[in-house]
Amino acid sequence: MPNFNFTLHHASLIVADTVASLTFYCDVLGMQQTDRPDLGFPGAWLQLGAQQIHLLELENPDPVTGRPEHGGRDRHIALSVQELAPVREVLDKNGIAYTLSKSGRQALFCRDPDGNALEILQRA
């Protein structure tokens, strides 16, 4: 078996409104926007250390309603933080619903304005 030593470079999420998504990701979660080339459609790139999240304002082929309430039972990306409590506080302050991990880990699941699921877990 080959060993390519993969690392994650970026994850892409489809959004309906880049500006609304940037409010969530940058203003609420504190992520930083980085340069993005002109790809012929709206969007934004967010820098998270060496990795990125690419927001793509494109027609969404997936349903945005009828998704599981708990994001752990849906497609999601997982982000780690040093402390989970401040994240809970900012989500509560902004009225953003979340569920706690069903595994008992220090983690929560929330959704962005387009229903994309995010897991946010406390580093061990």
4 occurs within a structural domain: no
Domain that holds residue 31: 10-59+69-122
pLDDT tens-digit readout, 3-15: 999 999 999 999 9
Record the tokens describing residue 5, joined without a space: 């030593």
pLDDT at position 63 is 85
Q: How confident is the model at residue 38 (pLDDT cuts 50, 70, 90)?
A: very high
pLDDT digits (tens, 9 = 90+) for 55-92: 999 999 988 889 999 999 999 999 999 999 999 999 99
Domain presence at residue 3: no
- Residues whose CB falls within 8 Å of the CB of residue 76, separated by 6 or more in sequence, listed in order: 109, 116, 117, 118, 119
Backbone angles phi, psi at 85, to 5 degrees: -55, -45
Residue 1 DSSP symbol: -
Q: What is the CATH number of the domain that holds 115?
A: 3.10.180.10
Burial (CB count <10 Å: 0-12, 13-18, 19+), residue 45: middle
Q: What total of structural domains would you count in the chain? A: 1
Q: What is the pTM of this model?
A: 0.93
